[in-house]
Amino acid sequence: MLRKTILFSMVFFFLFPLVLAPPSRGQDNYTRFEFGAQYSTIRETNYDLQGVNFSGFGARIDWNLTRRLALESQIDFFPEQGVPLPLVQGGQTLQAVFVIRAKVVETRHFSVFGIVRPGLLHFSGVEGLSSQGGLSFAQTPGNYFVLNLGGGIEYYPSPRWVLRADIEGNPYRVPADLFPGGIASLPGKINDTTRLSFGVAYRPGALTEDAPETNVSGKWEFGPLFSAMMLSREGLTDNVRTEPGFGGYASYRFYGVLYLDGDLLYFPRQPALSGPHDGGTILQGLLGLKGGIRRNHFGIFGKVRPGFNSYSAALTGISSTGESAPTYSYGRSNNFVLDLGGIVEFYPKERHTLRIEIGDTHLFFGTRDVSVDGTTESFGGGKMQHSIQLVVGYGWRF
């Protein structure tokens, strides 16, 4: 239910206001900097083993590049103690993120914005393997790469004051913890949590008058892509890793600010081991909605794109005879995925586009049958998994 809430919130923040908002005059001016403070929550597990929202506080600084686009940094501290769980959480929590906040709808008194902010997530005491070795465990600090994705609403009671509320998904990369000798004992994963923030900000300095905005031409767009995808692979020796890939994209504006948008990507690196759902190379196809605006020399969009991950060599059978080594058979495994996140475009020339995609690609594995010496065994897909994906491309519009 919580993940569904995040999904529909992102659709609301990125797409619906763009379609429903009537034409209106934006703010007359802005300042280069904003300084704010906020009350925040983060979803974690407490000592009663219940999922709860821990309270915290923090501060943010925005450097407004234009009236719509800003470089934003935010740091939050959550003093409550989470239960130490294997690698994924424990103790107090600190999060620091930085990069982009972009307004997709703007009027004189409010705006709807999206945020794409990579950064660091720190836990003071996760459960990991003891430095003494063996099967003992100990609490240790955990520092993880995190990708903060979401959106929110700002209200402007005056030109210098900002009231703000936002909601984000918070996927983060948890590497495996290894026994001596390189055998994974605690597998890593791409974990996820949820963030809410409510804050106030002040704009010091000189008020800068808004520059006029012009639309960017072109309905069709296509070009090559390079991708890096962080995900958990089946097989203890590979586990969580970053897969490089390449491919292309196409985009078509069919109504106002809505685009039909798709990627086709190939990830050629193969893991050392295969599992029932995952093995070999990956072919990824995504096709869905991109919604946002293009103004002057940049565009900002949210994306909701279903698709597939097709693995070339998932495990289908194991056969062992006598004392000889077992033999393995493999086949293709096709699985549903859902890509959520943001896209930022820059237009260095009239018909050219530099495109950057950042998102959380949700993976849904189904049940797979494996033949073990003639007996069929079923392996469930389990719960939804996350992957963090960065895509960079260069395209042409016409």
- For residue 19, count CB atoms less than 10 angstroms from its CB and return exposed for 0-12, middle for 13-18, buried for 19 or more: exposed
Give me the domains of the chain, ranges plus CATH numbers.
1-211 (2.40.160.20), 212-398 (2.40.160.20)
CA distance 168 to 193: 9
**Where is pLDDT greater, at 138 or 53?**
53
The answer to whether 99 and 114 have CB atoms below 8 angstroms apart is no
Which 3 state secondary structure label does DSSP give 24? Answer: coil
For the four alpha carbons of 63, 65, 69 and 71, in that order, the dihedral sign comes to negative
Sole residue written with tokens 């190379």: 281
The 8-class DSSP code of residue 86 comes to B
Query: How does residue 20 score in pLDDT terms, banded at 50, 70 and 90?
Result: very low
Nearest to 121 by CA among 71, 59, 171: 171
Q: Taking the complete model, does pTM exceed 0.75, yes or no?
A: yes
Q: What's the whole-number mean pLDDT along residues 8-17? A: 46
Tens-place pLDDT, residues 242-271: 999 999 999 999 998 899 999 999 999 998
Query: How does residue 5 score in pLDDT terms, banded at 50, 70 and 90?
Result: very low
Q: What's the whole-number mean pLDDT along residues 211-236? A: 89
CA distance 318 to 273: 13
Number of H helices, E strands in the chain: 2, 24
Centroid of chain to Cα 11: 14
Judged by average pLDDT, the poorest of 91-100, 203-212, 333-342 is 203-212
The answer to whether 17 and 112 have CB atoms below 8 angstroms apart is yes
Tens-place pLDDT, residues 27-84: 567 899 999 999 999 999 999 999 999 999 999 999 999 888 999 999 999 999 999 9
Q: What's the whole-number mean pLDDT along residues 172-190? A: 79
Q: Percent of the chain at pLDDT above 90?
A: 68
Whether the pLDDT of residue 343 is over 70: the answer is yes
Residue 178: the pLDDT is 76
CA distance 303 to 300: 10
Judged by average pLDDT, the poorest of 71-80, 134-143, 276-285 is 134-143
Q: What's the whole-number mean pLDDT along residues 305-314? A: 96
